[in-house]
Each structure stands twice: as structure tokens, then as C-alpha cells.
Amino acid sequence: MFKTNKYLTIVMLLGSLMLSAGVTAAEEKAPPADAEPVMKVTQHKARINGKTVKYSVHAGDTHLKDKEGKPSASIFSIAYIRDDVDNRSTRPLMFVFNGGPGSSSVWMHMGLFGPKKVVLPSDAEQVGAPPFPLETNPDSLLDIADLVFIDPVGTGYSTPLGEAGGKDFWGVQEDADILSEFIRVYITKNKRWNSPKYLAGESYGTTRAAAMVKTLQEGWGSIDLNGVLLISSILDFQTGDFTDGNDLPHITFLPTFAATAWYHNALPDKSAFDSLESFLEQVRDFALTDYATVLLKGGLASEQEEQHVIDQLHRFTGLSKTYLKQTDMRINEFLFMKELLRDRGQVVGRLDSRYLGEDAVKVTSRFEADPSSYAIDGAYTAALQHYMATELDTLREEKYNVLSGEVFSNWNWLVGRSPRSQGFLAMTPNLSRAMRQNKDFRVFIANGYYDMATPFFATEYSMQHHGIDTDRVSMHYYEAGHMMYIHEPSLNKLVKDIREFMDAR
């Protein structure tokens, strides 16, 4: 599908979702530059966190201009504003987006933060066909913060305007620039410059958040932030890019492989370990010591050292010693997802390895599609479309792009580097610099043990490098996958953890 493995973690994350959602790469035609923005305002109330909350919803377009004052982009957003607030300058304002790149904000909107949520099976079961339950979300953060869900250009109903084209916004820096401009315009129009401000991103949205931190906070006229919430983060792409010659992902993915084998009872002797947490501590230690040493040594490693690593990999992953030797002790996530339960005729999910699927052909090296993707995406798509049309007075004939193949395939990954240069995108330095320049800037991180798109050990690696002040990092773990909020116990814990993070400001 792709000529290189460049930034494979995020590329295949969207790719897996696109396969199940049937997304095409057809670019939507931009509306005329002089088209008027449409904004619908509706009134609601809901029981949230044990209290009745009255709020207004602003669903519609914000038209942005370029430096010459010409229309450049129409950004679709859905904002939830609590009504009974006397002093909005003290009320937190959170800007929320998902990742891809090429994804709308539907996932965190309808799964975690918004006052409405789609109800899914909690234990890694397929949702099946509609109707899908849509209920009030009693765990929404609307009682303590106003929420603005943003769809980047090319997703949702967001489009270029005038002479601008999609590719003007489809890149790490281009995307950060236009969404930062949206925030500037939003806080200006709504008189929210002095409100506490947070960015919340998931998956590539965490990359986006880190890029926006730099764009917003640096230079004169800056917009200082109180913090970022990173849900299933990918910040330093060397940790997730299985490119020949890059051994780091083999180390950073190993604890997630081990957790997956633990969950599916695929270990040769699970009874030897007291708990998942203590098991993963042993895996982490092995990954950073004996495993890393042998990978670094390459041909200099002795036969005894290699055999010890193969034995331990077998013990921690359940993969056969023959297979581990044949792969030169280097297994990428796609090989693992197909191989782990091959004897059972099953494949494990990538976004959430609790999910199981069955391929038509059992002998291939990769699965047909991600079972944790096609198990849930239809419910989110239907729920959002129904909700907007029936409750938010937002009924449009144009397609709402849940996931855009056009954005995904045209993304510019270069940030201030020559096209000839090689290297890995690294966003953690932006957070470190933000901490040095803003004493109140804090970071919340949510990790799923069973997330093979953005593995938790890779995030731990990032947070221990680049001068990050770990005293201002709130790190949390959940026994679910990439979208840990689809698992009810993890959702309950996640909401509790976020509320504690927000209360500590």
C-alpha cells in the first residue's frame, strides 16, 4: 500500500480505519469564498456528574482568513457552553480533536468528553448493526469546562475556501497553524482570552497538540496554555516506525506485545507472574537491558546472548522460539497481530488488541483489516450523524468526512527540514520548551495497555527524554486499547483521573 514505512504507526492507524469504513480518496469541492458561515445554536440540559447542567451548543462554521485578508478555510466545530456561569474568565476552555491525520473529532466527542455518547459493548465485542444506543454522558466534563470539538480541514464539514486548496493545510506545521488561528479567532469572538485553556488530542491529535503548543505559546502576542491532555500519544516517531535499521520500536512495542499475550492467555506460563503490572515491570526491565543490548550489538552478540533473548521473548510473548529466531528477534506489530493466535485461527486488533478477528486466509503475514476498527466505527458514524440532525439542528447534504483518505495520503510530514534529509518527527521537545517557558504548563497522558498503534512504553520513553519535567506530567494506564474509553471500567477511571488533573490546576 505504501512505498516506505515512514511514520507507519500513524499511517496504518488511519489506514486500518479507512479499510473498515470504506473511505475513498475523493476530495470534496470547496464552497465559494463568499459563502456565509452557518452556525446553529440550540439549548439543552443534562445530568452530569450528579448535577443538572444547562448548556448551549454552537454547531457550525468559522471562516478564517490568510495574512492578506482573503478567505482561506472554513472550520466546522461543535462547542458546548455551560449557561449558568457568572465569570467565564475563570472557567476552563478545552479544545478537543482526534488524529489520523485525516480524522474528525467524532471519537472523543461521542466517546469521552461530550454530553452525549454512543454506548458500545465494553468487553471487545462487535457493535453489529443499528440502531446504536445514544445516551446522556454523565461523565462529560461540561460541568467543569466548556468544550470545543474541532474538525481539521478536510474532515467533518471543514473545507478550504477561495484560492486555497486542501494541501495548503495538510501537514504537521500547516495544520498546527490553521487550528491555532481558529483558537485565536474563537477566543477573540467569545471573549475568552483570559480563560484557562487546554488542548486535548488523541493519537495523531497528540502530535498536533504538541505542534500547536509551540505555535500558540512562542513569540509576541502568545496564547499561553494551562496544559495538554494526550490520549494515546505518539510524539517521537522513531519509537513507532519499524524501518529497517531502526531497532527502537522493537523495544518500545515489546511490553504491549506482552500485555496482549497476557490478556489472551497465550503465555507459556502465565501463572509465574503475580499481576499484569508486575509482569510488565519485568518486561520493561528486560527490554531496556538484555534485549536492547543484543539488538545494539547485532552480529557482535554471542550465541548464548541471542539464545537468552529468544528464551525471554518466548516467555514474555508466547511466540515460538523458532519463529523468534527466524525473525532475528525483531517482530513488528503486524507480524505479531497475525502470529500470536495463528494456531487458533484468530488475529488480534491493532487499535485495541483485546479484539479478535478471523481472516479468510490464515497463512498470510498480516491481517485483512483491524478487527478493533471495523468492530466500532459504524456506531460512531451513525450516532454522530443522527445526533447532529435530530438534536443540534445541523442537517447538511454534503458528506461529513469521519475519516479522509485525501488528507491522509497528502500529508506533509516535514517540519523545517529539507526534503532530502532523513529523520524522525519529534514533538516532545515542544512540550519540554513549553514547560521551561510557562511554569504552569502541565501534561496529562492516558495510555492503554492493549494499544498497538501508540504503545505505552514508547510514550514512557518520550517522557524520559528531551528535558521533560516529569513532576508536571500526570501519567495513567488503562486495561484497554487506543480508545480506552470504549471499555467501561477504563472510562470510569479515565474520567476520574482527568477531573483530578483539572482540579489540581
What 3-state class would DSSP assign to 185? helix
Predicted local confidence at residue 361, as pLDDT: 79
Please state, in angstroms and as integers, the Cα–Cα distance from residue 250 to each residue in 25, 255, 331, 420, following that order: 32, 10, 7, 26
Q: What is the pLDDT of residue 423?
A: 79
Tell how strand 93-97 and strand 146-151 pair up. Answer: parallel
Cell of 57: 451548543
Rg over CA atoms, the chain: 22
Cα gap 86→180, rounded to integer Å: 27
Provide block-wise average pLDDT over 10 residues at a time, the chain (505 residues). Answer: 38 42 46 80 97 97 95 97 94 97 97 96 90 95 98 98 95 97 98 97 98 95 96 96 94 98 97 96 98 97 98 98 97 95 95 92 82 88 96 95 92 73 85 97 98 98 96 98 96 97 90
How many other CB atoms are found less than 10 A from the CB of residue 400? 17
User: Rounded to whole angstroms, how far apart are CA atoms 190 and 351?
Assistant: 37
Hey, what's the cell of 19?
Answer: 479499510
pTM confidence score: 0.92
Q: Are 40 and 392 in contact (CB under 8 A)?
A: yes
Q: How many other CB atoms are there within 10 angstroms of residue 223's CB atom? A: 15
Q: What is the pLDDT of residue 370?
A: 86
Strand partners, 54: 45
Contact (Cβ atoms closer than 8 angstroms) between residue 197 and residue 92: yes
List Cα–Cα distances, 240 to 9, 233, 254, in angstroms.
6, 11, 11
Please name the amino acid found at residue 139: D
The C-alpha cell that represents 360 in the structure block: 479468510
Burial group, residue 190, by CB count within 10 angstroms (0-12, 13-18, 19+): middle
* Segments in 122-224 forming alpha helices (H): 172-189, 204-217
